[in-house]
Every structure is written in C-alpha cells, then in structure tokens.
Copies of this chain bind each other. A is one copy, B any other.
Amino acid sequence: MQPEGLLIVISAPSGAGKTTLCRGLTQRFPALQESISYTTRKPRAGEQDGVDYHFVSESVFRHMVAEHAFIEWAEVHGNLYGTALATIEAARQKGVDILLDIDCQGARSLKQRGVDGLFVFVVPPSMAELRHRLESRSSDTSEVIERRIVRATEEIRESRWYDYIVINDRLDEAQDLLAAIVTAARATTGRMLARVGKMFDI
C-alpha cells in the first residue's frame, strides 16, 4: 500500500549552494537518504560498505559500465565513482525517498530513461553573485573561476526541462521552498490514490 519512495534529483551550477541546500534537506527530512555511489576507492577508516559507498573492484565496476548500470560515472584521482540506477530503484521500492545530487548530464540520462523523479534545478540569484561566491571560496584560480562561469551559463540553459527551479538568494527561503517542493510531491494524487481508495473502500 505504501507508495514508492520519491527520487529527488538536484542539479545546479558550481557555486549555487546546492551542497548546503541538500544538507539542509536531509536534516529536515531524516528519512531521506542520499544516493549511495559505487567506487573503486579503498574504504577509509570508519567508512562502511553499503552506507558510505558500495566498494567494488575495478573489474566489477568496469563490468557495470559495460552493462550500462550507471547513470553517470567518472574517474577522479585514479578512482572510479558511479551512480547505479538499480540501487536507487531498489531503495525506492522499499518506500525510501532518495536524494540524488547529480550534474545536468546525469539528470538528463535519468529523464531519458523515463525515471519518475522530482527534478529540481538550483540557480544563484545572478551571475554577479555567482562570481562573488566562487571568488570568495578563494580556493580556485581566476582561470578556473572563468571556466566555471562559462559552464554555469550552459548548465542554467538546461534548467528548462527540470520540474522546478529554485533561486538560491536567501538561503533560508530557498531551503523552505525546497522542503515545500518535497512535501507537496508526497501528496500528489498518483501517490495518494491507493491509500485514499483503501481508506474509503472505493
């Protein structure tokens, strides 16, 4: 009777504040689980298989790539990281809501596979503010910042096919809006109908 868990897909250009918003969302909805990635990296002290990551060998990972198991995957510092659709769907079938922080390309791949998700795009309040935020980080060279800004414009163009657009101007307001989007999504008729049918024997 329990409906399938929601899949909340969040994308944003670098510097829009997506990581902070996602952290706030999981604090507000403790039952919401962040999607667990596969990696060929060795577990660090305290990391648990199936909790922090699914730790696999490179041959298993490559096999999964060949079988199109990943929505997206990448090599970072010699290690492979990937997001597998099957693990997300398995969790959803148990009624678990999943949060997936993913770039536009990965999100588009999900959309193209017809995955029923709640696609949310986060934008900064302006390009000037994005630049300011990226410069305040002070960890990036000006060249990297310029590249991120060019990329941001390209990414924001992708927002047109998402379900919702959240402008992250004031963090608390953006956080409230994101929470409202998740709350509302839980009450759509598609999710409620079986329950209502049972409640009223109709």
Chain A residues within CB distance 8 Å of chain B: 121, 123, 125-127, 153, 156-157, 159-167, 176-177, 179-181, 183-185, 187-189, 192-193, 196, 199-200, 202
Contact = CB atoms under 8 A, between A and B. Distances in A.
Contacts of A157: 202
Contacts of A180: 179-181, 183-184, 187
A182 to B, nearest CB: 8
A4 B76 CA distance: 45
A187 B160 contact: no
A196 B157 CA distance: 9
B189 A159 contact: yes
Contact of A202 (B156, B181, B193): B156
A17 B192 CA distance: 18
